[in-house]
Amino acid sequence: MSAEIPSKYDPIQTEDKWYSYWMEHKLFKSVPDSREPYTVVIPPPNVTGVLHMGHMLNNTIQDLLVRRARMQGKNACWVPGTDHASIATEAKVVQKLRAEGVKKSDLSRDQFLEHAWEWTHKHGGIILEQLKKLGASCDWDRTRFTMDEKYYESVVDTFIDLYKKGKIYRGERMINWDPAALTALSDEEVIYREVNSKLYHVRYRIVGSDEFITIATTRPETILGDTAVCVNPKDERYKHLHGKRAIVPLVNREVPIIADEYVEMEFGTGCLKVTPAHDMNDFMLGEKHKLEIINMMNDNGTISEAGQLYVGMDRFDVRKQIAEDLQNSGNLVKIEELINKVGFSERSDAVVEPRLSLQWFVDMKELSKPALDHVMNDDIKFFPSKFKNSYRNWMENIKDWCISRQLWWGHRIPAWYAPDGQFEVAKTKEEALQQFSQKGIAVDVNSIRQEEDVLDTWFSSWLWPISVFDGFYSDEEVDYYYPTNDLVTAPEIMFFWVARMIIAGYEYRGDLPFRNVYYTGIVRDKQGRKMSKSLGNSPDPLDLMKKFGADGVRVGMLLSSPAGNDLLFDESLCEQGRNFANKIWNAFRLVKGWEEKVDKNLTQSQAAKTAVNWMQSKFNSTLVTLNDDYDKFRINEALMTTYKLVWDDFCAWYLEMIKPPFGQGMDATTYEASVDILEKLLGVLHPFMPFLTEEIWHYLKPRTEGSSICTASWPVSSNVDSNILSSFEKMSEVVIGIRNLRKEKNIPNKESIEMIVRANQEPDKEFDAVIQHLCNIQSITYSADKPTGCFSFVTATAEYFIPFTQQIDVEEEKKKIDAELTYVRGFLKSVESKLNNERFVNNAPTAVLESERKKQSDSLAKIQMLEEQLKALN
């Protein structure tokens, strides 16, 4: 046997073999049937993305949940797919074309889209192939893409529906503008970073006076668009200026001096210039105080005609130039260094420009209400629940959602414009024409044109849990699989995606999209830095899997990642995972090796019988804990529970307890029980380590073609004998005592010894045979008297004696007993101080009191034993 089964587990060979087997036998395929469904939809990765460590963590957890559910007999359905990721993908295609010397502006929309599709077909789906290496048990027949024909249609239909309901409108609003990508961004696509800036102090002359007022700004170029100066009404320094006017330097425009609580008196000079067209807060001030709006910037970040000066220059060049010009005109008071936060585009990394722009919006106020309520009342549960707070905070202050993007790659907005600018929202040009004519607007096929903009990527992904089941056009699948069960995702996209799926779920299905949301942490490197391409600190997941095996990496990922906490990734975690795999492998080799040593004539030894009984109870009681860990999404604890059950209980204790002495055979009863236990262990291990467990499962017993541990049953807990569990605890104390004694006294393990036990209560002999087996003890005798000429050690309930095999150091022994006495006396003192406290005795619950009294009597007995030992030595 050992010739066939290698001594080290080799993951590379087995993984591909079993993944093909699983695919071949369609073990992950799901179609609606009479079973309870268990559904998970994958957070669709970018279609042209490659697998990174974040995906590894996220998909390992999903696979774990799905595999367990499948074993529990549920109809497990994990839907994979990809997202068209409009900005990210378009940027990549633009970049690729540029490298080939083609500018996007030289192409027509259709030509560009052709390139984009080509790119998508070439690079799309790589990531899905990589997920298979990880062992992901998705139903690949269901793979969806957010720009699939049907999916595209559902996005467009949703737009039209919301428009008809009055939830979508077109309007001029302050939006985040990306001057590099030339597109609007949603608030969530703006990343704020601290940068070193300069705070320019600029003085404005007061009209009709020689007095100046000094404002402070980090963006002096926007002076060109100033339409007011603002101070805090409570600010004594400026009270005399309320209602007066100031002159904007260089452009010499007269603007009002207004007062508003918004101004912070402590910041800068306590005086603010107001540029409503180029700052969110200034825009609000402008609306409130009815200020003029001067849009002094072009979409590419250069100064427009309205700016009067520096027309056509870039905003950052102007910033330098205007500082000089203000200096020359005598208006620049001083420049301070300042660290402030500046918004950058998530995609192009350009400094975002707040800009007034005509865009499409979703009115979120009403739509979001059920989504808030159903999370707050736990219809949808968040794990960990702390994320409910930020969710509520966001939902209660929700802003309208800017959904138009000035891009080509994506779902084109179904709006049609007449030459005069009037528009109709309709699915097709024909319908649009009809709608125009119904309103008496004379247009024809050639005069109307479709909106150029596409929709925000998230406007398609928010339909994901419905659209993957064709839920907008057919009930068959969606009625069965929806609501899905668990969503596993990163907290970073709680607002982008999770919140909006919940909104769409209630709007279009009248029901929650998923019952539980498990938020994973961010995978960071050992030093706590985010993994990124530029830092080069992210290992390649495929390399890791080659090195440690997919199972090893899976275990490594889960070892230290409690829900919502960041994971400080270190290869040594995968090493630990690989070592665990090897440990299981060797345990299996040991058990399997006994198969040919089974001797039908042998009867089961008492030690083995006890061991089997104990292991069964231990397994069953641990399974209860394990199921509870899963139910509470304590994933890493579920792993640790399993890890200890296998490594400590099964390998370190059980296998040693039943291991026959060298050269002897194994009885059939114990062998069969062991195979049975190992099979159950493989069951609870399978979600963590699918490949290894499948390999061993097939070795362990003859299996029929097509059978798999993937669809074997998750073990069911039964019969927990709590007596044997507590007897085991006592036994392990004794065994550790003997091992220590042997070590201290240099009594080799091979030397068989006697043991005498003096118990202060009815002795627990349950594990005596096991103790003899584990510690090479010839006989255990019980005695009321104290034997002489022995080493000894003491547990809570008994005293153990091993006869001397050589001279002993009396002083050394006395020292040890003294130390133990000191400890137990201290313990007793702390217990008695409680018991002597009348208020404790009167107030503490009976159970607590009783346990204290038990402690008292146990330690009194122990002290007596130790004192006697000491006396005996003297």
Which residues, numbered 749-788, are part of the site for RNA (CB under 7 A)? 749
Could you say which of 492, 599, 751, 818 contacts RNA (CB under 7 A)? Answer: 492
- C-beta pairs of 195-198 under 8 Å, 24+ apart in sequence: 195/339, 195/340, 195/341, 195/342, 196/337, 196/338, 196/339, 197/337, 197/338, 197/339, 197/340, 197/342, 198/335, 198/336, 198/337, 198/338
**Residue 788: both structure tokens together:** 């002489």
Q: Are 103 and 115 in contact (CB under 8 A)?
A: no
309-330 core/surface letters (b: 16 or more CB in 10 A; e: else): bbeebebeebbeebbebbeeee
Binding-residue total with RNA (CB under 7 A): 75
* ω into 384 cis (within 30 of 0): yes
Q: How far is the CB of 147 from RNA (least distance, A)?
A: 26
Could you say which of 242, 703, 739, 815 contacts RNA (CB under 7 A)? Answer: 739
- Alpha carbon distances (Å) from 368 to 299, 398, 466, 486, 515: 32, 8, 18, 21, 17
Which residues inside 516-545 make contact with RNA, applying CB under 7 A?
528
Which region among 240-248, 437-445, 556-564, 863-871 touches RNA (by CB under 7 A)? 556-564
Q: How far is the CB of 393 from RNA (least distance, A)?
A: 4
> Which regions of 452-495 does DSSP assign to beta strands (E)?
454-455, 484-489
- What span, in angstroms and rounded, lies between the C-alpha atoms of 523 and 526? 10
Q: Which residue lies nearer to RNA by CB, 430 or 656?
A: 656
- What span, in angstroms and rounded, lies between the C-alpha atoms of 633 and 383? 7
Which of 512, 496, 508 has the alpha carbon at shortest distance from 157? Answer: 508
**Residue 446: both structure tokens together:** 């050639």
Residue 308 touches RNA, criterion: CB under 7 A = no
Q: How far is the CB of 705 from RNA (least distance, A)?
A: 29
Which residues inside 653-672 make contact with RNA, applying CB under 7 A?
655-656, 659, 662-663
Q: How far is the CB of 597 from RNA (least distance, A)?
A: 10
Q: How far is the CB of 416 from RNA (least distance, A)?
A: 32
CB neighbour class for 664 (10 Å; exposed up to 12, middle 13-18, buried from 19): exposed
Q: Which residue lies nearer to RNA by CB, 211 or 764?
A: 764
Residue 640 touches RNA, criterion: CB under 7 A = yes
Question: Using alpha carbons only, what angle is made at residue 404 by residues 403 and 409, rounded to the nearest 5 degrees?
Answer: 115
Could you say which of 302, 565, 669, 797 contacts RNA (CB under 7 A)? Answer: 565
Residue 834 touches RNA, criterion: CB under 7 A = yes
Could you say which of 140, 262, 480, 647 contacts RNA (CB under 7 A)? Answer: 647
Which residues inside 179-218 make contact with RNA, applying CB under 7 A?
187-188, 190, 192
Q: Which residue lies nearer to RNA by CB, 472 or 643?
A: 643
Q: How far is the CB of 795 from RNA (least distance, A)?
A: 14
Which region among 26-34, 410-418, 561-569, 860-868 touches RNA (by CB under 7 A)? 561-569
Residue 456 touches RNA, criterion: CB under 7 A = no
First-residue to last-residue Cα distance in the chain: 58
Q: How far is the CB of 453 from RNA (least distance, A)?
A: 21
- What span, in angstroms and rounded, lies between the C-alpha atoms of 22 and 711? 10
Q: Are strands 454-455 and 404-405 parallel, antiparallel or unpaired?
A: antiparallel
Q: Which residue lies nearer to RNA by CB, 145 or 495?
A: 495
Q: How far is the CB of 215 from RNA (least distance, A)?
A: 19
Longest dimension (CA), the chain: 118
Q: How many H-runs (helices) and E-runs (strands) does the chain carry?
A: 28, 29
Residue 685 touches RNA, criterion: CB under 7 A = no
CA within 13 Å, CB half, 713: 3
Q: Which residue lies nearer to RNA by CB, 740 or 779?
A: 740
Q: How far is the CB of 481 from RNA (least distance, A)?
A: 31
Could you say which of 140, 212, 699, 840 contacts RNA (CB under 7 A)? Answer: 840
Which residues inside 214-273 make contact with RNA, applying CB under 7 A?
none
Could you say which of 34, 108, 252, 397 contacts RNA (CB under 7 A)? Answer: 397
**Contacts with RNA, 332-361, as mask; x by CB under 7 A:** ---------x--------------------
Residue 491 touches RNA, criterion: CB under 7 A = yes
Which of 407, 404, 297, 349 has the alpha carbon at shortest distance from 180? Answer: 349
- What span, in angstroms and rounded, lies between the C-alpha atoms of 232 and 242? 10
Q: How far is the CB of 425 from RNA (least distance, A)?
A: 27
**Contacts with RNA, 278-307, as mask; x by CB under 7 A:** --xx--------------------------
Which residues inside 118-157 make contact with RNA, applying CB under 7 A?
none
Which residues inside 571-630 make contact with RNA, applying CB under 7 A?
572, 576, 578-579, 581-583, 586-587, 589-590, 593
